[in-house]
Structure 1
Amino acid sequence: MKFLSVALLAVLMTGCASSSDEQASNDGLICKMEKPTGSNIPKRVCRTPEQIAAMEKEGRDGIRDIQRNSTNTVRL
């Protein structure tokens, strides 16, 4: 019974220690656990705030271009 309580305590402590998905490291990188396309296994990816902002801008620009170039034609 004592072993079970010690094991349970260890599991609870490790669960509390790693509860954050996003961490800022000392060198200015922001690390995040991301699931790559086609996989359920998350990988740790670290980027600078400038890289994150550039990726977000690129995504917004891409969506805007798709919306501008789409045609809403109905074929009967």
Structure 2
Amino acid sequence: MADVKNLVHESRRRLAWSQHKLADELGVSRQTIISIERGRFDTSLPLAFRLATIFDTTIEEIFFPGDQS
């Protein structure tokens, strides 16, 4: 499986949201947000779409192969 990086932390900070607020908006635990931000959890496609909607961007702008940072 390819190493996937993400900009969830940066996108969340741009909104000035806490991990708890983002977790509440997505209906997941704060631990899930922590794991996503640290690259320890591969999100499902529906969750990735919800993140893109919240951040008003595309999935491709949030998640990308690890060798393209």
Q: State whether TM-score is above 0.5.
A: no
Q: Structure 2-normalised TM-score?
A: 0.21
Higher relative contact order, chain-length normalized (CA < 8 Å, sep 6+): 2
Greater fraction helix: 2
Greater fraction strand: 1
